[in-house]
Structure 1
Amino acid sequence: MSEPERRIALLIDADNAPAAKIDVILAEVARHGIANVRRAYGNWKSPHLKGWEATLHEYAIRPMQQFAYSTGKNASDMAMVIDAMDLLYARNLDGFAIVSSDADFTPLVMRLLTDGMKVYGFGEKKTPEAFRNACSKFTYLEALGGEALPDSAAATRPKTSQELRNDTRLLQMLRSAVEAASDEDGWARLSTVGSQIGNQASFDPRNYGYGKLSDLVEAIGLFESRRENLNIWVRNPPRSGTKKAAKKAAKKAAG
């Protein structure tokens, strides 16, 4: 018997999200479950949101009207947070997909995670690090397909080997995941490594310009790898001191 499909609430901060990307966002959400709640928040009388009108009807997204009660205050954000908490307390969802490039939603994400919810974030490259890292998984809109965003070429360009090696957070995350998933010989199945990373932090190889984790690991060039049928195995390369110690021990054992 197959498991029931996960139910996800898609909440869109229309003021900070491009309507042109909604099709690929929905396709991405569909990989995790079904978006049975679809809401977009904003002041729909504002000409700034004109591009969203046709999109709302085409993709069955419910517009949530929120007037700007005072200048400089984003009432839409408050309404979105209140709705998210109401949905959380209803206890009939398995996760949330939040579309915004605004770091103000970081506390909301952390609260949802506390209740065991998966939170999938979507935003532009400019999204602050705090919001990106808080999500179970965060994906740059520029890294998805569909209509290109302004200045998206640089955002989706695959990072070079040197750029990847200079990313200490990425390397530490990969090395820790490989070590945690490895067998006695240090080899770890790459699929298990991916799951381990997902449990540690927000991660999507497409944010680095690579479609798959295997492509990213290969581009870094610091991990040993081998293939067995359809499985890919990786391990952290032994440190030079470890190699010398191993050779010395083997020589001593040989007499």
Structure 2
Amino acid sequence: MSAPVPAAESRIAVLVDCDNTTPDILEYALRVVAQFGRVVLRRGYGNQNTLGKTWQEALVRLAFTPCLQYQYAAGKNTADIALALDALEAMFDHRADKFCLVTSDSDFSYLCRKLRERGATVCIVGESKTPEALRNASDQFFEWRPAATAATETAAGAPAHTKPDVPKQPAIKRRPRFVVEAISLLASNTSEGRVHLSALGQYLKRTDPSFSPASYGHSGLVDMLKTYDLLALKREAGGHYTVELAEMRLTDANASATTSLAIGS
């Protein structure tokens, strides 16, 4: 018997704007895209100073192809154009169907839109400075935060005096109103008035590519929804969850009770 043929994996291109970000972001970007498929293109774009000094070690260690672009005139960034052209070429040649752009430069917003218009999926890995225009142009935005810096050393080589550890305050759990509005909208299109959590999660990501329950102090979407008084969460027979507006459940219960009284009379 022949071995089963595995399902076709998505082919991912990771394209890095080295002139715009730091090498520390690279490993995080690779961890992010590992969930989507197989990375077939790894390229870093920048000028001779960026690639030869700041990025050389990271690009070599993580097997990225450096794409050197000389600056033909002062103030001109030729690396951005090279990255955009290579992305479109990879899409038209069918070498990649998903793209991860590692940048915080809003100039790539138009590239994201063109790739998506042609059916490609685009995610952005960027820093907190990433403008909304670029975040919303992608299918999904992942924000990289630099790790805490180690204690500084004194000139003599001894560790500098550090402040005593302060107990970490628990994250404040918030309940944004737009989640209730999303469930109300999605539930209105179903006969049972309930929404599957997978559909809700996809909708929230589509409306805000940077959405994450962790940003509001929750460990996950289920944990987040449990804090809402206006929502009723239900675990179905298959193990998945659905959610509905609590007022809808109360309305249905009142309707059933009225019907029962009418029949009894």
1:120-149 Cα deviation digits (max 9, x unpaired): 11111221111111111111112xxxx517
Corresponding position of 1:154: none
Aligned counterparts of 2:61 and 2:170: Cα–Cα separation in 1:
33
Aligned counterparts of 1:101 and 1:196: Cα–Cα separation in 2:
24
Aligned equivalent of 1:225, options 201, 226, 233 = 233
Correspondence 1:123 to 2:116: no
Aligned counterparts of 2:213 and 2:148: Cα–Cα separation in 1:
16
Gaps of 5+ in 1: 151-156
Correspondence 1:41 to 2:41: no
Aligned counterparts of 2:77 and 2:250: Cα–Cα separation in 1:
58
Provide the aligned C-alpha RMSD in A: 3.2
After TM superposition, give the deviation of residue 243 of structure 1 in Å.
Answer: 5.1
Change (3 A) 1:220 1:247: closer
Asked if structure 1 preserves the Cα contact closer than 8 Å seen for 2:233 and 2:241, the reply is: yes
After TM superposition, give the deviation of residue 27 of structure 1 in Å.
Answer: 1.4
Query: What amino acid sits opposite 1:224 in the alignment?
Result: A
Give the secondary structure class of the aligned counterpart of 1:16.
coil
Asked if structure 1 preserves the Cα contact closer than 8 Å seen for 2:125 and 2:142, the reply is: yes
Gaps of 5+ in 2: 150-168
1:44-85 Cα deviation digits (max 9, x unpaired): 3248x7332111011111111112233333221111111111
1:71-116 Cα deviation digits (max 9, x unpaired): 3332211111111111122123211111111111111000000111
Change (3 A) 1:245 1:102: same
Aligned counterparts of 2:181 and 2:100: Cα–Cα separation in 1:
27
Asked if structure 2 preserves the Cα contact closer than 8 Å seen for 1:140 and 1:207, the reply is: no
After TM superposition, give the deviation of residue 25 of structure 1 in Å.
Answer: 1.2
Give the structure-2-normalised TM-score.
0.75
Correspondence 1:213 to 2:216: no
Query: What amino acid sits opposite 1:79 in the alignment?
Result: A
Percent identity of paired positions between Structure 1 and Structure 2: 29
Change (3 A) 1:22 1:176: farther
Query: What amino acid sits opposite 2:176 in the alignment?
Result: R
After TM superposition, give the deviation of residue 204 of structure 1 in Å.
Answer: 4.1
**Pairs within 5 Å for 1:31-180:** 31-46=35-50, 50-142=53-145, 148=147, 160-162=172-174, 164-165=175-176, 168=178, 172-173=181-182, 175-177=184-186, 179-180=188-189
Query: What amino acid sits opposite 1:213 in the alignment?
Result: L
Give the structure-1-normalised TM-score.
0.78
Aligned counterparts of 2:260 and 2:180: Cα–Cα separation in 1:
35
Aligned equivalent of 1:187, options 182, 194, 208 = 194
Give the secondary structure class of the aligned counterpart of 2:14.
strand
Asked if structure 2 preserves the Cα contact closer than 8 Å seen for 1:7 and 1:34, the reply is: yes
Change (3 A) 1:187 1:249: closer
Change (3 A) 1:188 1:253: same
Aligned equivalent of 2:18, options 8, 14, 21 = 14
Asked if structure 2 preserves the Cα contact closer than 8 Å seen for 1:118 and 1:136, the reply is: yes
Give the secondary structure class of the aligned counterpart of 2:54.
helix
Asked if structure 1 preserves the Cα contact closer than 8 Å seen for 2:47 and 2:69, the reply is: yes
Instruction: Count how many residue pairs are aligned between Structure 1 and Structure 2.
Output: 237
1:182-227 Cα deviation digits (max 9, x unpaired): 551x233312322344555525416625553323334556422133
Asked if structure 1 preserves the Cα contact closer than 8 Å seen for 2:126 and 2:144, the reply is: yes
Larger helix proportion, structure 1 or 2? 1
Aligned counterparts of 1:140 and 1:62: Cα–Cα separation in 2:
24
Structure ID, larger Rg: 2
